[in-house]
């Protein structure tokens, strides 16, 4: 009986021994300063901040961060370098690597850094002048792994770049200014899951007395307010909502609405930084989202968009739209959405590209919007394994004479096979240990 009880206990432990890993990926337009420190949002970052407060984002859940990979566009000059360092709550962590003179990449995989819900995270870049002059101006992209303490939880991080003094919409991740049109900041969901654990930080308090200047952040789904929301006034700069959960499915459009209310309703200008959890329905999945800031796509030729970013325009220079892949994760599928339908007999096709070449073109990785439709979801379930140091981006291709689509959105399903699932080698070791 005692042996049976032990086996039951072990089985219960094994069946819950999952590890949820995901990737935080920057956009390619990361531009480190050649003469001083700069700060960037870890996820979807494409701008730059001179102060740590300008890009630090509250992390919405607990776990560890590690496996940093960085690739830059150009080599540094002789004897100079760039250092990339993850900061948590204003302090440097061990997660750092240096791109030295003559190199274009660096990696750090030796240890991890712990993070808890509500702590602020940011990436810092520092140039070093080794006597050969300041390092060359570069663009760079990275990916960083998050291993969640809680099963199925991944992080969405936004560092807004503009001051909001009225009602605006904001994206769920990346770096972009708030917009008056929801369509300009909405992301399309590529898979199902829950949005929860909302953590909000404003760079300045609204000011005034109680009830005079109230700032509220609310999750919107398909144009309607949801229960996930938090508000603040007076001298407060932070609020959170860990009580509510909003379910979403593939094809849903999500954004935040930033509203101002109160008896005065003239809060101090401030930027908003938001962290929230995406709890995936399918273990191992996470979101790689992109939306554009323009409504005038090229209707006669392919347009290149980012792999991951918010409010980032398409670019004729494809190299400036890249995001960094790695062989320890993959893409399982995608969803796409536009504002204006192509029209009868016409089509927009959105697809992932690798190193300026087509990847799986003509397969289920294509997200095709035709005729009167304004959205589509790919049905592919076979992961597309990414390649170390390779660059990925999005291409939108018209067929026929489609109407300009307006704001375009493309989101990918990232995937890392869960570790510790029943039947893996690690679980077998646990079982043998009990039998000794």
348, 402 contact by CB (below 8 A): yes
Q: Note the pLDDT tens digit of each residue in 57-87.
A: 999 999 999 999 999 987 777 789 999 999 9
Fold classification of 156-281 is Jelly Rolls (2.60.120)
Confidence at residue 432, expressed as pLDDT on a 0 to 100 scale: 29
- Using H for helix, E for strand and C for coil, what is the string for 262-302? CCCCCCCCCCEEEEEEEEECCCCEEEEEEECCCCCCCCCCC
195, 246 contact by CB (below 8 A): yes
Tokens of 412: 């990918």
33, 48 contact by CB (below 8 A): yes
Dist CA 68 CA 315 (whole Å): 27
How buried is residue 362: exposed, middle or buried, by Cβ count under 10 Å (0-12/13-18/19+)? exposed
**For 394, how many CA atoms within 13 A lie in the half-sphere containing its CB?**
30
CATH code of domain 286-415: 2.60.120
Dist CA 31 CA 299 (whole Å): 30
The contacts of residue 76 (CB under 8 Å, 6+ apart) are 82, 99, 100, 101, 102, 103, 135, 136, 138
Confidence at residue 116, expressed as pLDDT on a 0 to 100 scale: 98
- Chain region(s) in the chain for CATH 2.60.120: 15-154, 156-281, 286-415
Dist CA 92 CA 81 (whole Å): 18
Low pLDDT (below 70) residues in the chain: 1-19, 131-132, 295-296, 360-364, 380-381, 420-436
Predicted TM-score of the model (pTM): 0.91
Query: Rounded to whole angstroms, what are the CA distances from 130 to 82, 97, 164?
Result: 11, 17, 41
The sign of the CA dihedral 51, 57, 63, 68 is negative
Query: Rounded to whole angstroms, what are the CA distances from 257 to 172, 272, 277?
Result: 10, 11, 17
Return the residue matching tokens 């919405």: 60
- What length is written for the chain? 436
Confidence at residue 47, expressed as pLDDT on a 0 to 100 scale: 74
Query: Rounded to whole angstroms, what are the CA distances from 349 to 171, 256, 345, 376?
Result: 23, 27, 13, 10
Dist CA 262 CA 232 (whole Å): 11
Q: Note the pLDDT tens digit of each residue in 152-206.
A: 999 999 999 877 778 999 999 998 889 999 999 999 999 999 999 999 999 999 9
How buried is residue 180: exposed, middle or buried, by Cβ count under 10 Å (0-12/13-18/19+)? exposed
Q: What is the DSSP letter of 52?
A: G
Fold classification of 15-154 is Jelly Rolls (2.60.120)
């Amino acid at each position: 009986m005692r042996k049976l009880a032990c086996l039951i206990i072990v089985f219960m432990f094994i069946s819950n021994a999952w590890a949820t890993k995901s990737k935080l990926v920057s956009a390619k337009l990361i531009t480190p300063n050649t003469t001083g420190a700069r700060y960037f949002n870890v996820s979807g970052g494409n701008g730059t901040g001179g102060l740590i407060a300008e890009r630090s984002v509250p992390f919405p859940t607990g776990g560890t961060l590690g496996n940093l990979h960085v690739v830059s566009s150009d080599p540094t000059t002789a004897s100079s370098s760039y250092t990339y360092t993850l900061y948590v709550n204003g302090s440097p962590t061990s997660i750092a690597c240096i791109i030295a003179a003559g190199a274009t990449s660096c990696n750090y995989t030796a240890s991890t850094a712990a993070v808890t819900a509500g702590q602020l995270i940011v990436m810092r870049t520092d140039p070093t002048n080794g006597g050969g002059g300041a390092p060359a101006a570069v663009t760079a992209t990275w990916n960083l792994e998050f291993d969640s303490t809680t099963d199925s939880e991944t992080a969405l991080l936004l560092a807004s770049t503009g001051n909001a003094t009225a009602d605006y919409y904001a994206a769920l991740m990346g770096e972009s200014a708030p917009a008056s049109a929801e369509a300009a900041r909405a992301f399309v969901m590529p898979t199902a899951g829950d949005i929860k654990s909302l953590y909000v930080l404003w760079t300045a308090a609204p000011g005034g007395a109680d009830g005079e200047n109230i700032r509220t952040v609310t999750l919107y789904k398909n144009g309607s307010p949801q229960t996930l929301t938090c508000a603040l006034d007076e001298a407060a700069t932070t609020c959170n909502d860990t009580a509510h959960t909003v379910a979403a499915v593939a094809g849903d459009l999500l954004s935040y609405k930033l509203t101002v209310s109160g008896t005065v309703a003239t809060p101090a200008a401030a930027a908003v930084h938001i962290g929230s959890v995406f709890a995936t329905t399918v273990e191992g999945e996470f979101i790689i989202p992109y939306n554009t800031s323009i409504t005038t796509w090229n209707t006669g030729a392919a347009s290149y968009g980012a792999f991951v970013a918010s409010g980032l325009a398409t670019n004729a220079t494809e190299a400036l739209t890249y995001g960094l892949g790695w062989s320890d994760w993959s893409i399982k599928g995608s969803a796409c959405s536009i504002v204006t339908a192509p029209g009868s007999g016409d089509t927009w096709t959105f697809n992932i590209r690798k190193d300026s070449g087509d990847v799986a073109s003509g397969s289920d990785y294509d997200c095709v919007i035709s005729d009167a439709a304004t959205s589509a979801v790919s049905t592919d379930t076979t992961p597309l394994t990414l390649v170390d140091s390779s660059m990925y981006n999005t291409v939108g291709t018209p067929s026929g004479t489609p109407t300009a689509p307006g704001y375009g959105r493309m989101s990918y399903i990232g995937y890392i096979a869960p570790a510790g699932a029943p039947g893996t080698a690690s679980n077998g070791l646990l079982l043998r240990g009990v039998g000794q």
